[in-house]
C-alpha cells in the first residue's frame, strides 16, 4: 500500500500586514512592515512600546455579538482564519463529511487578555462578579474546540502548545493524523493575541524584545548586525490539509504538498537554544529524511529568524551544519521582519508563506537587512522579494523549552 500524500488546499491568515491569503501575500512580497506603536494599552512605561497589532480586525465580520463576548481575542482570530481557510479551499463541511474533518490549532499563551481582565474584576469586585466564561475563554485548547464547534468538524480535535514552535508542530502533527487515517481533512495552525501588559512586561523583563521604539518599522531585523530583540505580534494562520485523493476527487486547488516533518528537543535551556544548534540541525535532517530528499533539493528556507542576537546566529550555524556548501547557494528569509513574532501562530503563518513561495515562485524578503553580521553570512534575500523557481522549501520553528519543528513542502506533481 502506498503512503498517503498530504496537500495544502486552503489557507487563512489574520496578521499585522493583512487579513486573508491575498492581502498577507501581497504585503510580504511588497516588503511591508506591520510594526507600530502599541495601541491596545498605554505602553509608555514599558521598555518596549511597539508591536505587530492586527489593527483592522473586526470580529463581527466572522462572529456574532454573542460569540465575540464569549471568546478571547486569540479564539476570535482562530475562527476568522479557519473560516477564511475553508472558504479559500472551497470546502463544504456537512453531514456527508464532518466526521472526516479534524481540527488541530495551538497557541503559545492562550487567553492572556481574559486573565488580566478577570483578575482585575476579582480584586476590585470579588469572585461573585467574575465571568462564568472565564475558564473556557482562557484555556489554550479552546481555539481548536470552538473552531470545531463553529465549523461542525467532528473528526480529531486536539491542541499543541510548544511556544514559538506551536504552529509548525500543529501542521506537522495534523499531516501525520491524515497519514494515519484519522481524518481526510485537517484544519491546522496556530493563533495568538498576546499584545497585553503582562506579556509585554514579561518579555521585556527577559530583555527579549526590541527597544527600537522610535523606528518601529525597522525594529524587526533578522540576521542584521544591529538586531536588538524580537517584536511581539498577534494573529492566526490556519491551513487546510487534505489527503491527496480526496482533494483530487473534489477538484481542489493545491498550493503545495507536505513532504516531510521533523521534530527534536534541545534539552539544553528553558529559553536559550543550544549554542551549537544541534537540536535545530537534527530537526532539519529528520524533516529531509522524512521527505526522502537530499539537502541539495532545498531551494529556500523560511527561517525562524526572530531578530534576537543568539537565535539568528544559532539558526545560521544549524543551516550550515545540515547543508554544508549548499547553505551558501540556497535562499533564506524571515517574514518576522515584516509581521513581527506571532509566537504560537508564527509557524503556521510561515508555512502559508512557504506554500505561496512555491506556488508563485517568489521569495519574500528579509526587510531591514542593512548591516551584515559576520556570524550570519548566508543569502537572506535582503529587502526585496526575489523571483526564483522554488520546487522544494523548508520552514523552521524553534520554541522556548527547546522545542524544534521543521516542515518541508514541495511543488505538487500528480504523477509522483
**Residues recognised as catalytic:** 164, 304, 341
Q: Interior CA angle at 139 toward 18 and 307, to 5°?
A: 45
Cα gap 216→226, rounded to integer Å: 14
Three-state DSSP at 399 gives strand
All 3 cell numbers of residue 82?
479557519
Burial bucket for residue 141 (CB in 10 Å: 0-12, 13-18, 19+): middle
Question: Among candidates 12, 25, 15, which has minimal Cα distance to 84?
Answer: 12
| CA–CA gap between residue 140 and residue 135 (Å, rounded) | 10
Report long-range pairs for 292-295 (Cβ below 8 Å, ≥24 apart).
Answer: 292/260, 293/259, 293/260, 293/392, 293/408, 293/410, 295/322, 295/323, 295/324, 295/326
- Orientation angle between helical segments 142-151 and 73-88, nearest 10 degrees: 40
Q: Measure the CA–CA gap between 171 and 107, rounded to whole angstroms.
A: 13
**Cα–Cα distances in angstroms (integers) from residue 28 to residues 84, 344, 394, in the given order:** 18, 19, 17
Q: Helix or strand or coil: residue 211?
A: coil
Partners of 157 in the β-ladder: 103
Give me the helix-helix angle, 21-30 and 346-360, nearest 10°. Answer: 80
State how far the Cα of 165 lies from the Cα of 190, in Å rounded to an integer: 10
Q: How far is CA 340 from CA 91, 191, 223, in A?
A: 30, 14, 14
- Phi/psi of residue 37, each to 5°? -60, 145
Residue whose C-alpha is closest to residue 349's, from 48, 10, 15, 3:
15
Beta-strand (E) ranges in 16-138?
A: 18-19, 36-37, 50-51, 101-106
Give the helix/strand (H/E) hosting 158.
Answer: strand 157-158
Amino acid at each position: 500500500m502506498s503512503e498517503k500524500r498530504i496537500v495544502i488546499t486552503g489557507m487563512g491568515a489574520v496578521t499585522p500586514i493583512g487579513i486573508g491569503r491575498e492581502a498577507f501575500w501581497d504585503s510580504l512580497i511588497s516588503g511591508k512592515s506591520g510594526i507600530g506603536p502599541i495601541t491596545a494599552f498605554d505602553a509608555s512605561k514599558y521598555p518596549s512600546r511597539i508591536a505587530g497589532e492586527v489593527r483592522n480586525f473586526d470580529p463581527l465580520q466572522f462572529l456574532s455579538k454573542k460569540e465575540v463576548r464569549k471568546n478571547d481575542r486569540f479564539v476570535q482570530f482562530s475562527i476568522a482564519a479557519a473560516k477564511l481557510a475553508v472558504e479559500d479551499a472551497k470546502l463544504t463541511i456537512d453531514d456527508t463529511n464532518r466526521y472526516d474533518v479534524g481540527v488541530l490549532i495551538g497557541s503559545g499563551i492562550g487567553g492572556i487578555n481574559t486573565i488580566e481582565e478577570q483578575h482585575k474584576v476579582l480584586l476590585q469586585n470579588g469572585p461573585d462578579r467574575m465571568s462564568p466564561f472565564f475558564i473556557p475563554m482562557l484555556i489554550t485548547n479552546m481555539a481548536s474546540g470552538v473552531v470545531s464547534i463553529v465549523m461542525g468538524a467532528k473528526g480529531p480535535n486536539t491542541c499543541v502548545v510548544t511556544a514559538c514552535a506551536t504552529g509548525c508542530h500543529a501542521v506537522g502533527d495534523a499531516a501525520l493524523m491524515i497519514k494515519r487515517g484519522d481524518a481526510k481533512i485537517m484544519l491546522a495552525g496556530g493563533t495568538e493575541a498576546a499584545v497585553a501588559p503582562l506579556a509585554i512586561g514579561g518579555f521585556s523583563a527577559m530583555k527579549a524584545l526590541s527597544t527600537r521604539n522610535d523606528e518601529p518599522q525597522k525594529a524587526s531585523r533578522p540576521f542584521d548586525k544591529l538586531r536588538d530583540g524580537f517584536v511581539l505580534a498577534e494573529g492566526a494562520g490556519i491551513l487546510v490539509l487534505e489527503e491527496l485523493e480526496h482533494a483530487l476527487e473534489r477538484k481542489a486547488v493545491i498550493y503545495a504538498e507536505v513532504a516531510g516533518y521533523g521534530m527534536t528537543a534541545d534539552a539544553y535551556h528553558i529559553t536559550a537554544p543550544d549554542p551549537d544548534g544541534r537540536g535545530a540541525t537534527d530537526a532539519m535532517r529528520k524533516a529531509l529524511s522524512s521527505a526522502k530528499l537530499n539537502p541539495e533539493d532545498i531551494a529556500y528556507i523560511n527561517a525562524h529568524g526572530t531578530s534576537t542576537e543568539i537565535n539568528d546566529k544559532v539558526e545560521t550555524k544549524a543551516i550550515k551544519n545540515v547543508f554544508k556548501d549548499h547553505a551558501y547557494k540556497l535562499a533564506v528569509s524571515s517574514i518576522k521582519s515584516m509581521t513581527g513574532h506571532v509566537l504560537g501562530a508564527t509557524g503556521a503563518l510561515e508555512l502559508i508563506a512557504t506554500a505561496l513561495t512555491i506556488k508563485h515562485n517568489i521569495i519574500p524578503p528579509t526587510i531591514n537587512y542593512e548591516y551584515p553580521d559576520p556570524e550570519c553570512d548566508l543569502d537572506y534575500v535582503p529587502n526585496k522579494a526575489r523571483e526564483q523557481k522554488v520546487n522544494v522549501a523548508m520552514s523552521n520553528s524553534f520554541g522556548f523549552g527547546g522545542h524544534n519543528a521543521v516542515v518541508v513542502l514541495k511543488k505538487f506533481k500528480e504523477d509522483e
